[in-house]
Structure 1
Amino acid sequence: MIEPILNKGERIDGLPAQNIHIIQNPDMFSYSLDAILLAHFAGIKGKGAGLTVDLGAGTGAVGLFYAPKVTGKIKLVEIQPELADMAARSIVMNGLEERVSVLKSDMKAIFDDIAPGSAETVLSNPPYFPLNETTKTNKDEHYELARHELTIDLPGLAQVANKLLKNNGKFYMVHRPERLSDIFAALSARKLMIKRIRFVYGKVDREANMVLVEAIKSGRPGGVRILPPIIAYTMANDYTAEVKEILYGASWTK
């Protein structure tokens, strides 16, 4: 690891299983377990040599955690300059400059830089919460953009993913289970057919609080597989054995 120069308020967090380190500022936004589980869930298309795009990358956690699984190039798309800058420095810190890069842009305006139909894989940990008359947004600008659909909604995200992907390319997303009907509607209307779903539960006696989704561009309708659930914590508030293995076990490439 190359030691970076950190700005005020920044720290380095890491994922031991992938030997990846991320620069972030908790006063702006920090990745959480959803980013790790998405990167772990996302499959490898072919030999992993194709282009991967991470939409709404934040500090780059999902794309960087996914990077050791593949050999192809990865583009991290992030609209917030401060988060994009941290992602760019994390790329250098991890020695991934030859394969991973940051595009500071609204994801709807990336097609001069990333050709339509060029991506094998698209990843996204998007804003979870829609805007409506009763929405209470976070007063912090960085959290507001990361958590609420201020710059793009689910249909818009699905449209961008569809335009980026080659036919039969894969789209992977983590979201909230209560938005599942919206997710199905948005993706299927844009020829992204859901093929795998995995629910994540905080504890065994609670409702699911995350859903991991895999969709394929121009895939056949139907054939959705519901995978075994992930339980994040034991009743004693420790990580479960499965989550410990994801975080601290062998590299996901093995």
Structure 2
Amino acid sequence: MTVPDPRDDETLDSIGTADVRVFQRRTGYRFTVDAVLLAHFAATEGRELSGPVLELGAGSGVVSLLLVKQFGAEGPVDALELQPGVHARLTRAVALNGCEGRVRPVLGDLRQARTLLASGGYGQVVSNPPFRKAQAGVVSPDEERAMSKSEVACDAEAVVAAARHALRPGGGVSLVYPAARLAEVLGLLTGARLFPQVLRMVHARVDAPATRFLVQALRDQDRGLSVRPPLIVHGEGPGGYGAEVAALMDVPLAERAGG
């Protein structure tokens, strides 16, 4: 397959172990390891959940593409993205990765979920939403970066409401957020009768405080909360990652050649 060249303001980047490739703006928001952690968490903890998958705020498509290419989600995965320019890059990435029909780009606003999405149409929802409250810190002057990092176009309450609307009873939503927002997000989920089932804290290093958390919650089913062991991102593994995260990333070329 001929790989198209990125446009002048883009890069073509890969992530994970299944040759997932996406187009990203050089000066726009760029994916982080959070995308891999979320896709793996959703696939692992949601393995008993069936039916179509919805990604809220899909961006360049990393999570959706990882779900189907690396983690074996049957899908289809509907990848909902608000920004037309980002949606266009997502659509090109789906074609580049040969995932037409398995990942379906959708242009739209998650705040309009009640009119945009079928009620109860999904078995699983995933989202790596904007992390920063709109009033917190300096908002980037770049609109794409601002909308991807800060809650200028949607907030956690809107994400939870969209997930609630889209999920069928017993379906699950998987989210990643900063550790500092743990109480807030768990409260929003529970208030929407999306009951937290699995929680995992993410630490940069083994001796560092948590920086992120991963949570899965089920619609209308309160089975109690299981707290998984901490996930350590950086360590002595390939690429400077901890062993668990290194296994989710591409093998360095030197090690691949040594085989």
Q: TM-score when scaled to structure 2?
A: 0.89
Task: Tell me how far 1:131 sits from its aligned partner.
Answer: 2.4
The residue matched to 1:121 in structure 2 has which SS? strand
CA–CA separation in structure 2 for the residues paired with 1:245 and 1:169: 28
Tell me the C-alpha RMSD between the 2 structures: 1.9
The residue matched to 2:171 in structure 1 has which SS? strand
Structure 2 stretches lacking a partner, 5+ long: 252-259
CA–CA separation in structure 2 for the residues paired with 1:158 and 1:98: 26
The residue matched to 1:246 in structure 2 has which SS? coil
What aligned pairs does 1:52-131 form with structure 2 within 5 A after superposition?
A: 52-68=53-69, 69-131=72-134
Task: Tell me how far 1:15 sits from its aligned partner.
Answer: 2.5
Task: Tell me how far 1:24 sits from its aligned partner.
Answer: 1.3
Number of residue pairs matched? 246
Deviations 1:179-201 (A, max 9, x none): 01110111111010001111111
What aligned pairs does 1:213-224 form with structure 2 within 5 A after superposition?
A: 213-220=215-222, 223-224=224-225
Structure 1 stretches lacking a partner, 5+ long: 250-254
Would the aligned equivalents of 2:164 and 2:219 in 1 still touch at CA under 8 Å? yes
CA–CA separation in structure 1 for the residues paired with 2:189 and 2:55: 17
Would the aligned equivalents of 2:24 and 2:89 in 1 still touch at CA under 8 Å? yes
* Residues 146/66 of structure 1: CA separation in 2 closer, same or farther (3 Å cut): same
Q: TM-score when scaled to structure 1?
A: 0.90
CA–CA separation in structure 2 for the residues paired with 1:171 and 1:2: 36
CA–CA separation in structure 2 for the residues paired with 1:55 and 1:36: 16
Task: Tell me how far 1:72 sits from its aligned partner.
Answer: 2.1
CA–CA separation in structure 2 for the residues paired with 1:163 and 1:2: 40
Would the aligned equivalents of 1:51 and 1:121 in 2 still touch at CA under 8 Å? yes
CA–CA separation in structure 1 for the residues paired with 2:55 and 2:207: 33
> Which residue among 150, 153, 178 is the counterpart of 1:151?
153
* Residues 156/47 of structure 1: CA separation in 2 closer, same or farther (3 Å cut): closer
What aligned pairs does 1:1-254 form with structure 2 within 5 A after superposition?
A: 2-43=2-43, 44-46=46-48, 48=50, 50-68=51-69, 69-132=72-135, 135-220=137-222, 223-234=224-235, 238-248=240-250
Letter in 1 for 2:112: A
Deviations 1:222-253 (A, max 9, x none): 6211111111112798112221111136xxxx
Task: Tell me how far 1:86 sits from its aligned partner.
Answer: 0.8
Letter in 1 for 2:41: F
The residue matched to 2:240 in structure 1 has which SS? coil
Would the aligned equivalents of 2:113 and 2:162 in 1 still touch at CA under 8 Å? no
**Percent identity between the aligned chains?**
27
Deviations 1:101-137 (A, max 9, x none): 11111112244443110000100000111123x5421
The residue matched to 2:247 in structure 1 has which SS? helix
